[in-house]
Amino acid sequence: MIDIEIEDDAWAEALPDAVILVRAAALAALDGANMRPKDAAADAGLVAVLLTDDEAVAELNAEYRRKAGPTNVLSFPAAQNPEGFLGDLALAYGVCAREAEQQNKSLADHLQHLVAHGVLHLVGYDHMNEDEAAEMEGLERRILAGLGVADPYAAEQGDHD
């Protein structure tokens, strides 16, 4: 159901269980969005995830978003199709690793957050305004909590005792 390609060996070197982490996060996001098909044994791929380098993501970002440089995750929703394919994600190793370090998070937790975030974009969630952001972030928190990943937005909110 989740097709994963590791194009940059840095992912596998830093996270030998990257494929397991990506698959778990993607399936949890689909479950959280009530988008997982009832037949979990279906052979059809729902999401394709590319774990690549900054250069490849920068090229995709320039071509499809007209933005210079790499970003952490890109989501490419698929047009409606009879196979139920939802779309593609591409994650840049260097950006993700730097962000994890800067945010004092493990790369594994950050990867799972970004995969869940990207999958939610594929199924129609967005964060263009405050209401959308609150809904999407709340769903991300619940999905990640189910995976044992700490709230990725807690540091942004600070302590409100």
pLDDT tens for the chain, residues 1 to 161:
899 999 999 999 999 999 999 999 999 999 999 986 554 445 457 999 999 999 999 999 999 999 999 999 999 999 999 888 999 999 999 999 999 999 999 999 999 999 999 999 999 999 999 999 999 999 999 999 999 999 998 865 443 33
The structure's pTM equals: 0.91
Question: 16: Cβ–Cβ under 8 A, 6 or more apart, which residues?
Answer: none
Q: Is residue 103 part of a domain?
A: yes
Tokens standing for residue 155: 């540091």
pLDDT at 156: 57
Q: Is residue 160 part of a domain?
A: no
Find how far residue 32's CA is from the centre of its chain: 13
Q: Is residue 22 part of a domain?
A: yes
Q: Is residue 156 part of a domain?
A: no
Residue span of the structural domain in which 75 resides: 2-150
The SS3 of residue 121 is helix
Q: Which CATH number does the domain housing residue 54 bear? A: 3.40.390.30
Q: Is residue 123 part of a domain?
A: yes
pLDDT at 157: 47
pLDDT at 4: 97
pLDDT at 37: 59
Could you tell me the sign of the dihedral formed by the alpha carbons of 136, 137, 142, 146, in that order? Answer: positive
Q: For the chain, how are helix, strand and coil distributed in percent, rounded to 5?
A: 50, 15, 35
Q: Is residue 20 part of a domain?
A: yes
Q: Is residue 155 part of a domain?
A: no
pLDDT tens-digit series, residues 32-69: 999 865 544 454 579 999 999 999 999 999 999 999 99
Strands (E) across the chain are located at 2-6, 47-52, 73-77, 87-92
Query: What is the bridge-based pairing of β-strands 87-92 and 73-77?
Result: antiparallel
The total of structural domains in the chain comes to 1
pLDDT at 147: 98
pLDDT at 41: 43
Is the separation of the CB atoms in 117 and 73 below 8 Å? Answer: yes
Cα(119)–Cα(67) distance, integer angstroms: 21
pLDDT at 91: 98
Q: Is residue 144 part of a domain?
A: yes
The SS3 of residue 25 is helix
